[in-house]
């Protein structure tokens, strides 16, 4: 197993040339599949070794039986990767709600070891939850079908009497109802057992998944294109399968449906860390107890900034409003604050600064800001010297590590920070 830290130069000692070449071949495919700005792997070829820098991705891939795990930058401290990084990563992932992936892995991870891969943790979580649910029996439901039978069973389909009655009167069409385990939920659960058993490396987990797969003997095996995760829903009698189905659906979307193309299927699961951070910020701001209405990054945040052909629109990540007035507009940036440093300290990238200025003007908001996962300096503010909105630009930090250290304290600090931003903005407006 090879561990790589995001946005860090990693020497690929001990990794075969074939694996590195395969990574290079799939680089553009991953970029397209994950909607990345740049290919996820940068390669630096030296005289005797290759260095790889993962950019904007984390997760696990497997090439030629070589497992490679990529740790998000906020979990790798000065090139040291903590042994419990998978625990921390999955907690942030679950809270961020990426693809509605909200499963508590704490119990599963405590039973793992440092040798357990990320896919081992996911596979074990799935097997444990499915095993608990199956203790009360496999999911089943009444299924209706139409069959051509020689003996009457079910209800006769009168619309199909002709020309069948003339062609073969010994067989007629009947609509039958059967209580069966072969239903869409069971097919997805069985498929996930098989797929996780291929991805896991832990022998105990693989054996458990195999045993669980055998508990669906009447269920047809299916291929990924047949699965429709967004259309699956659980009835009240099947609620016990909720978490297992959540993991299975997530596996379909991220491992198969999102990556499987006509010409290539990408190995493993990689996450777009920029989108994951936006999801983390969105979940944080939605959780914080504030007396304002919050809107995350969706269609409601679109605003036309300028008419023309084509018109120019803006779409900030996070908006707070109260009584129809926009109080605060924020945009998430999964990067360092910027490399431009002058006598006054570090600055955000100029294009980002201009971006939130446009948000302030378009939404007539006095206060706008940029949100980073980590700042090397204290939060900063700029007061605009030009007339009109915005009046103030802030830079603030939402560090996932602070969230992991203590959620109550984290949410309280974010709440106090946001209230201070708005109050200071009001004071700036009254002084203007």
- 280 within some domain: no
Tokens found for residue 321: 């409003």
Measured CA to CA, the distance from residue 270 to residue 88 in angstroms comes to: 16
**In 3D, which of 4, 107, 135 has the Cα closest to residue 61?**
4
Strands, E assignment, 129-282: 141-149, 155-156, 172-180, 269-272
- 281 within some domain: no
At residue 214, the pLDDT reads 92
- 13 within some domain: yes
**Total count of domains within the chain:** 3
Same domain for 118 and 54: yes
Summarised one tens digit per residue, pLDDT across range 189-212 is: 999 999 889 888 888 889 999 999
Measured CA to CA, the distance from residue 424 to residue 53 in angstroms comes to: 41
Give the burial class of 407: count Cβ atoms within 10 A of its Cβ; 0-12 exposed, 13-18 middle, 19 or more buried: middle
Same domain for 150 and 112: no
Summarised one tens digit per residue, pLDDT across range 217-227 is: 888 877 765 66
At residue 55, the pLDDT reads 93
Phi, psi at residue 272, to the nearest 5°?
-75, 105
Same domain for 156 and 13: no
Q: Of the candidates 271, 297, 326, which is a domain's last residue?
A: 271
Measured CA to CA, the distance from residue 75 to residue 86 in angstroms comes to: 9
First to last CA, the chain: 60
What counts of helices (H) and strands (E) characterise the chain? Answer: 12, 20
Same domain for 245 and 153: no
Structural domain boundaries enclosing 165: 142-178
Query: Global pTM?
Result: 0.75
At residue 113, the pLDDT reads 46
Same domain for 301 and 378: yes
Tokens found for residue 45: 């070829």
Whether the Cβ atoms of residue 190 and residue 211 lie closer than 8 Å to each other? no
Phi, psi at residue 297, to the nearest 5°?
-75, 95
| Cα dihedral value 239, 196, 116, 113, nearest 10 | 40
Beta strand pairing call for 66-71 and 2-5: parallel
Same domain for 163 and 110: no
Tokens found for residue 302: 């679109």
**In 3D, which of 189, 174, 70, 178 has the Cα closest to residue 129?**
189
Residue matched to tokens 């915005």: 390
Strand partners, 360: none
At residue 110, the pLDDT reads 41
At residue 338, the pLDDT reads 56
Summarised one tens digit per residue, pLDDT across range 280-338 is: 999 999 999 998 999 886 656 667 777 777 777 778 889 999 888 889 999 999 987 65
At residue 260, the pLDDT reads 45
Same domain for 225 and 118: yes
DSSP 281-302: HHHHHHHS--SSEEE-SSGGG-
At residue 111, the pLDDT reads 42
Same domain for 233 and 211: yes
Measured CA to CA, the distance from residue 291 to residue 236 in angstroms comes to: 35
Mean pLDDT per block of 10 residues along the chain (432 residues) reads 88 85 88 87 86 90 85 81 83 72 46 63 88 90 71 69 67 74 87 88 90 90 63 78 83 55 63 89 92 77 70 83 90 75 64 91 91 80 85 91 92 93 77 62
Same domain for 160 and 225: no
């Amino acid at each position: 197993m090879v561990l790589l830290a995001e946005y860090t130069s990693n020497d690929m000692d001990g990794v075969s040339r074939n694996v590195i070449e395969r990574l290079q071949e799939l680089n553009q495919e991953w970029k397209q599949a994950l909607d990345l700005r740049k290919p996820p792997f940068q390669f630096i070829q030296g005289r005797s070794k290759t260095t790889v820098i993962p950019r904007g991705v984390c997760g696990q891939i497997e090439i030629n039986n070589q497992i490679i795990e990529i740790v998000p930058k906020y979990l790798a401290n000065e090139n040291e990767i903590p042994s419990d990084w998978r625990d921390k990563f999955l907690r942030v992932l679950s809270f961020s709600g990426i693809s509605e992936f909200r499963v508590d892995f704490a119990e599963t991870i405590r039973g793992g070891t440092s040798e357990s891969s990320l896919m081992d943790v996911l596979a074990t979580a799935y097997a444990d939850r499915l095993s608990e649910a199956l203790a009360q029996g496999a999911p089943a439901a009444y299924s209706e079908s139409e069959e051509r039978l020689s003996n009457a069973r079910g209800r006769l389909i009168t619309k199909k009497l002709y020309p069948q009655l003339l062609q073969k009167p010994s067989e007629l069409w009947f609509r039958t109802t059967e209580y069966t385990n072969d239903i869409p939920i069971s097919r997805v659960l069985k498929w996930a057992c098989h797929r996780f058993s291929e991805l896991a490396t832990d022998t105990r987990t693989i054996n458990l998944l195999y045993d669980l797969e055998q508990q669906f003997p009447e269920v047809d095996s299916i291929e990924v294109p047949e699965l429709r995760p967004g259309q699956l829903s659980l009835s009240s009698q099947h609620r016990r399968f909720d978490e297992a189905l959540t993991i299975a659906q997530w596996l379909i979307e991220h491992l198969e449906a999102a990556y499987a193309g006509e010409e290539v299927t990408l190995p493993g699961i990689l996450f777009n860390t920029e989108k994951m951070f936006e999801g983390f910020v969105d979940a944080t701001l939605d959780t914080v107890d504030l007396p304002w209405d919050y809107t995350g990054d969706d269609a409601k945040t679109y605003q036309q900034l300028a008419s023309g052909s084509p018109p120019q629109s803006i779409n900030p990540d996070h908006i707070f409003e109260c009584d129809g007035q926009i109080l605060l507009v924020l945009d998430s940036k999964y990067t360092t604050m910027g490399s431009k440093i002058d006598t006054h300290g570090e600055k955000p990238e100029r294009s980002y600064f201009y971006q939130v200025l446009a948000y302030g003007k378009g939404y007539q908001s006095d206060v706008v800001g940029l949100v980073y996962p980590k700042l090397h300096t204290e939060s900063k503010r700029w007061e605009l010297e030009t007339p009109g909105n915005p009046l103030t630009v802030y830079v603030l930090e939402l560090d996932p590590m602070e969230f992991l250290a203590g959620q109550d304290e984290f949410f309280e600090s974010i709440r106090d920070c946001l209230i201070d931003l708005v109050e200071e903005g009001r004071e700036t407006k009254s002084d203007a």
